[in-house]
Copies of this chain bind each other. A is one copy, B any other.
Amino acid sequence: MVRFTHRISKKAGLPPGTLIHVGDKKTEKARLRLMDYTQEHFEERDLAAIEESFSYREKDSVTWINVDGIHQVDMVEKIGRHYDLHPLVLEDILNTNQRPKMEDYENYLFLILKMITYGEAQKLLYIEQVSIIVGRGFVLSFQESEGDVFESVRERLRKGKGRIRKGGPDYLAYALMDAVVDNYFLVLEKIGEDIEELEGEVISKPVPETAESIHNLKRELLFLRKSVWPLREAVVSLEKGESPLVQERTTVYLRDVYDHTIQVVDTIETFRDMVSGMLDIYLSSLSNRMNEVMKVLTIIATLFIPLTFVAGIYGMNFKYMPELEWRYGYGLVWVVMVVIGLLMLLYFRKKKWL
Contact = CB atoms under 8 A, between A and B. Distances in A.
Interface of A: 1-2, 4-5, 7-9, 11-18, 86, 88, 92, 97-99, 101, 103, 149, 151-152, 156, 161-164, 175, 178-179, 182-183, 185-186, 188-189, 191-193, 195-196, 203, 205, 208, 211-212, 215, 218-219, 222-223, 226, 230, 252-253, 255-256, 259, 262-263, 266-267, 270-271, 273-274, 277-291, 293-298, 300-302, 304-309, 311-321, 323-330, 333, 351-353
A185 B5 contact: yes
A306 B311 contact: no
Contacts of A296: 298, 302, 351
A317 B313 contact: no
B279 A279 contact: no
Nearest to A197: B1
A291 B285 contact: no
Contact of A219 (B101, B277, B282): B277
A149 B211 contact: no
A323 B330 CA distance: 11
Given A263-B98, A294-B297, A285 B12 contact: no
13 contacts: A1-B196, A5-B192, A8-B186, A9-B186, A11-B185, A15-B152, A103-B255, A205-B352, A293-B294, A296-B302, A305-B308, A320-B327, A320-B328
B305 A301 contact: yes
Given A285-B211, A312-B315, A266 B226 contact: yes
A306 B92 CA distance: 69
B16 A178 contact: yes
Chain copies in complex: 5
A285 to B, nearest CB: 7
Contacts of A312: 307-308, 311-312, 315
A343 B192 CA distance: 43
A16 B256 contact: yes
Contact of A189 (B8, B175, B277): B8
Contacts of A286: 284, 287-288, 291
B282 A279 contact: no
Contact of A300 (B99, B279, B305): B305
A235 B156 CA distance: 37
Nearest to A149: B13
A282 B324 CA distance: 53
A272 to B, nearest CB: 9
Contacts of A208: 284-285, 288
Given A1-B191, A318-B324, 10 more contacts: A4-B192, A14-B152, A15-B156, A290-B291, A300-B305, A301-B302, A304-B305, A314-B316, A319-B324, A319-B325
